[in-house]
Structures are given as structure tokens and as C-alpha cells.
Amino acid sequence: MMDLSRNPLWRDRDLPVWRQIETDIEVDIQTGVFESGDRLPSEHELTTKYSVNRHTVRQALASLAEKGLVMAHQGKGVFVAEEPFEYRLDRNAKWSEVEKRFDGGAGGRLLSSYESPASKAIAKALKIEAGTPLIVTETLRTVGPGITTYGYHMFPRQRFEGIASAFETTSSFTKALSAFGINAFFRASTWIDCRMPRPREAEALAVSISLPVIIMTYVDTDSDGVPILYGHGVFPKRMMRIRIDT
């Protein structure tokens, strides 16, 4: 059995050593070895642990800081950042529920809207024919302490003609949908992934284009179980943690 407790680095691999150190510390943060507010080992302790020079350790710490995982305090050291916002996925998952948790009003902004035919995959999710006209909105929604999401929402045009204008007026899809007689809607399915951001997403979210973002693709239905929207939400990686209760 391999003993990785002392030095978990692979020196004969293409991955830079500083990147391996970054990942190793990130895993320790994610698994609770280092908790929010904890001081990380000093540069000297890390150089000893990983048998590297200070420059390599500083590269790793700088990248962790760019991700928002740690913060340096002059003369005190490097500390684990506060816990990210916890997004709970259940049947009632929707942005208005997040707003309620922070006692925040609707903070949505319509960036663009356009029409697009439903692809086979989206048509299957929405239970409509492929090629059915959709209204697509791109929005930026903010609530609480810097919690922001870039969202794509796709609605069947025949049922939701004017949804973009309704959102622009109310800054809320919950309120906009009520104008179409939908006073309750529910999460049917969610797919979680990650990818690199598009330039416009990175600019709107104020994140680096070189860092991955969390993606939630989902389908919401009305109270009769009829799909009403296909969504694709983009979140900065450190902004939140997704919690799924079973």
C-alpha cells in the first residue's frame, strides 16, 4: 500500500508540482482537514512537507487565493476563506427561495432575449416537438453577499410569449410566471457539471475566464407536471456548495 501521508506528489508526471500542491490543499479544505478560518501551515512548513522551494508553494497559494479558497493576512499567514453559500436542491429549488433566505428582493437583470428552435435534447426534456420555437433569455441575478448566477432560460414560445418583458419588469421569473397563470412550479430534474466560462459569462460574473464554473442544467414543471422551462445556470465555483438531501 502506498503511503501518501508524507509527500503525495508525483515528480514524473506532466502536471506541474505547484498545481499538485494546490490540489492537495484544496482537497484538505473540501474534506474538512482545514476548516473555515483555519490558518494553513506556513510557507516553511509546506516547503518541508512537499520538499519544494518557496516559489513553488507561493504559486500554489496564489492560485488557491484566485479561486477564493484562501485569504492572506499580512504578517499573520494564509487562512481558509469562509464557507460558500449552500444551495439546497429539492423539489422547490428556485432562485426566489434563495432570495427569501437572505431577505433579499428580486435582483434580476435581463441581458438579452431571442428565439431559437428546440434541439432534440431540449425538446425531449420539455416534452415538445424538436424545432418548436423557444424564447431564450439570458439573465444576471444577484442576491445576498455577492451571490450571482448567469442564467439561460428556455420557454416554449406558444405558451410564454412575452416572458422576457415580464421578467424585465419584475426582475423575477417567479413573478413573471405568475402573469401566465403559473403560481407554483417545481424542479423535476437537475444535472450538475462544470466547464470553463464563456467570455460574456466571465465578464458578467466578474470571474477569471481561466477558472471553471459550476453548471446546473434543469427542468421545471407546473403543478400539473407539465414542463415549462429548461434552464442552464452558471455559478462561480467558490460562490456556493450544492447540497442534495435524500
Q: Indicate the residue type of 10.
A: W
Answer yes or no: are the C-beta atoms of 173 and 29 closer than 8 Å.
no
DSSP SS3 for 5:
coil
DSSP state of 21: H
Q: Which three cell numbers stand for residue 147?
A: 451571490
Closest CA to 145 of 72, 238, 78: 238
Q: Secondary structure of 31-99 in the HEC alphabet?
A: CCCCCCCCECCCHHHHHHHHCCCHHHHHHHHHHHHHCCCEEEECCCEEEECCCCEEEEECCCCCHHHHH
Distance between CA 124 and CA 102 in Å, rounded?
35
pLDDT at 4 (0 to 100): 46
Mean pLDDT by 10 residues, the chain (246 residues): 56 82 90 90 93 94 87 90 78 68 70 97 96 97 80 97 96 93 93 94 91 92 96 85 78
DSSP SS3 for 220:
strand
pLDDT at 75 (0 to 100): 85
pLDDT at 138 (0 to 100): 97
User: Domain-by-domain residue ranges, the chain?
Assistant: 17-80, 85-244
pLDDT at 158 (0 to 100): 96
Q: What global pTM score does this model have? A: 0.75
pLDDT at 2 (0 to 100): 42
Distance between CA 174 and CA 182 in Å, rounded?
8
Contacts of 23 (CB under 8 A, 6+ apart): none
Q: CB atoms < 10 A from the CB of 63, how many? A: 19
Distance between CA 149 and CA 108 in Å, rounded?
9
Q: Secondary structure of 56-68 in the HEC alphabet?
A: HHHHHHHHHHHCC
- The CB-side HSE value for 217 (13 A sphere, CA atoms) comes to 8
CATH of domain 85-244: 3.40.1410.10
CATH 1.10.10.10 describes domain 17-80:
yes
Q: Are strands 85-89 and 240-244 parallel, antiparallel or unpaired?
A: parallel
Strand runs labelled E in 83-146: 85-89, 108-117, 133-143
Identify the helix (H) or strand (E) that includes residue 169: helix 163-170
